[in-house]
Structure 1
Amino acid sequence: MKALFIIALAIALSLPATANAQPQRTLLRPAAVFDGTDPAPHPGWQVLVEGERIAAVGPNLSVPAGTQTIDLPGQTLMPGMIEGHGHLFLHPYNETPWDDQVLHEPLAVRTIRAAKAAEITLKAGFTTTRDLGTEGAGYADVGLKKAIDSGLTPGPRLLVATRAIVAQGAYGPKGFEPGVIVPQGAEEASGVERIVRAVRGQIAAGADVVKLYADYHYRPGEPSLPTFSQAELDAATAAAHDAGRTVAVHAVTAEGMRRAIAAGVDTIEHGDEGTPAVFKAMAARHIAFCPTLAASEAISRYRGWTDPEHPPAAVAESRTAFRAAMAAGVPICMGGDVGVFAHGDNASEMRAMAAAGMAPTQVLIAATSGNAAAFHLTDRGAVRTGLLADLIAVEGDPTRDLTALTRIRLVMKGGAVVR
């Protein structure tokens, strides 16, 4: 009885401390706040963080006793940025060609490298990443997401697409004896029944977003051509939406884009051959566009491009499509296809967008509240009471000079300072 009494007393004494424990409070005092929606920064604003959420925003906040204060002189506080198109399981193609990464790099090595890339991405100010396919690494992104969420390894909040889905025979690697089974960079499907099965299988495995390829080149040297039929895209999109998942579509050709638009997808990636009419249709359906300008530029540099005043045809084409999308009023997603180029340099896509004619404030909105809206993330993307305290501070004013994004001075994820 005495032992039971001691145990009961110990439990009773522990309960009030747990019940009355107060979440950590932190007051952030920057020179200004860019809230993710208003183009103009707010000088003199402060942000009070309580636990993992933003508790208050504005000037001269009332601060509870015991609140930690972090002064950020000369710095702009803003929402953590959202990478809209990444591949954590890839690394730059000038280090190792894509085929060799898919065919020859061990899965364990790719996963460890992806974990390192995730940490680098977070410390670069990107607190959320939409990772659009493991490119031959199976469902390892689901495991990486769990490892990050459990605190096992640092990284951004992940939206994962697992294997992605391509038409039979339309992806790679290629160039082997016909009939030889070669590991592919995505899951192949053919026909309505099989593509729906692939969608549901990937969702069951942990996919947050379904990635489809509406076009691709069947053989090396051939142009991109539509792959999935309208019926296949319609069925895949409906199956994903029924399960509450968004749909991202790789589409370079105008016809591939038209089919994706008709299917009602959520975002279209690349869109190099998009026409004004195609972008007008996207705007009417509120489908967001991820132009991936930085990837096009990186690949051209790997092939020898050195003169920024004379871009190669591929770069010029992607910039023209981007301008046409802006002119049509298409919601713009900020996503650079990072992995083609170095993780941590995600903001190079933002600089490319500005160089192609988008105002810096609109670029910042695209990378924060714009991506949050496109991906249906209602708990982040802005500095607003009640949202997740995913926040960064940069030296200078990024609304005037995007190079400020290379001067990250603070990164906070869910109220915890990670840099």
Structure 2
Amino acid sequence: MDTIYALASAQGKAGVAVVRISGPDAFDAATILCGSLPAPRQHAVRRIKTASGEYLDEALVLVFPDGASFTGESVVELHLHGSIAVVSAVLRELSELGGLRLAEPGEFTRRALENGRLDLAQVEGLADLIEAETEAQRVQALRSLSGDLGQVVGNWRTKLIRASALLEAVIDFADEDVPEDVGPEVLSLIADITHSLQIQLDGFKSAERIRSGFEVAIIGAPNVGKSTLLNALAGRDAAITSEVAGTTRDVIEVRMELDGLPVTLLDTAGLRETDDIVESLGIERAIQRASAADLRVLLFEDSEPSDIALKDDDISVASKADHDGVGVSGLTGRGVDALIKRITSVLTLRSKSAGLATRERHRVAMRETLSALNYAETLVSQNSEQYDIAAEELRVAIRHLEKLIGRVDVEMLLDEIFSSFCLGK
């Protein structure tokens, strides 16, 4: 396997820049630059020099032996002064050493996966942690990176192997007396896994929303104050406001954070009958986005319209409460804080039901596992003559779980995942 290297910290000037070297020749390459290396899992300050002896920088050098590093390979990290010139000089020197090459995006993490240091769900958690913008996203990503989903899947897999082994024992000794009926234990194991799987599936939407962001659509009639309210919530002029009805033609999005949760506010076109083709397209799009949103805030002036169907937890509030009226006014700020609290309360409650599965592929793998388990349960419940087919269904369920954590049949998926990583990660 090649020895790879790359800048593992951010590009540009910084106080410290970290260059990582990983692979079978990592120690030899670092010795050429440093003269000598500290003991494994120790650190020391060394002068970094070229092969010809030219002084490049003074760096803190860390050494990680094979099997005890992030990648699972021999790794050396050079903590350099964060000068662009220093980093360029060190990378150039590494490029001239035989047997080394620049790492591809995400290649360090891919090697960690291939060497069993991370499972695929942990890799995705690491990607989410790098992209995390809010506290809720950070906490959720760390749960994934810590291997929580992998542990749950491992528990499911162990139970499925036990259930499959019980059925196989009956099949293998079909011509002999089996001391006990394994059906009840197999059904109990399947029921436990099915129940746990369903909990994770029920919590998928909330977990996925924490990762990608909740959508809150502001809806109502034209000129009711939707854009003004959006600007007040966003704290800036994100939408054009005017006294002319139908000013907003397209959906305007503003991303913000509410109590650690990522939220995208949607300012939609005013809902009304119109002969204007462009406005009607905007209204159609507004209806589609509002229907798909996680929460809708209905603004109304005199009385709440009866022709707009709201869902559970949706919020309706009187607009333009400029004086003593109860409601909200984006113009004066009256009621805005209270509205934010209501929105935050609803979304926080939903986020508490978040499961460990955060991506669509997780959901699909668990649904397919559940489908195989349901079929196996039906077969086992019928009679022992169906045990061979039931055992195969359990093996199918195991394969779906193994795909979830990256043990089998994920090569195309790996290429897609690691393409999103930065160089040096």
TM-score (norm 1): 0.24
Higher helix share: 2
Whose relative contact order is higher, 1 or 2, with alpha carbons under 8 Å and at least 6 apart?
A: 1
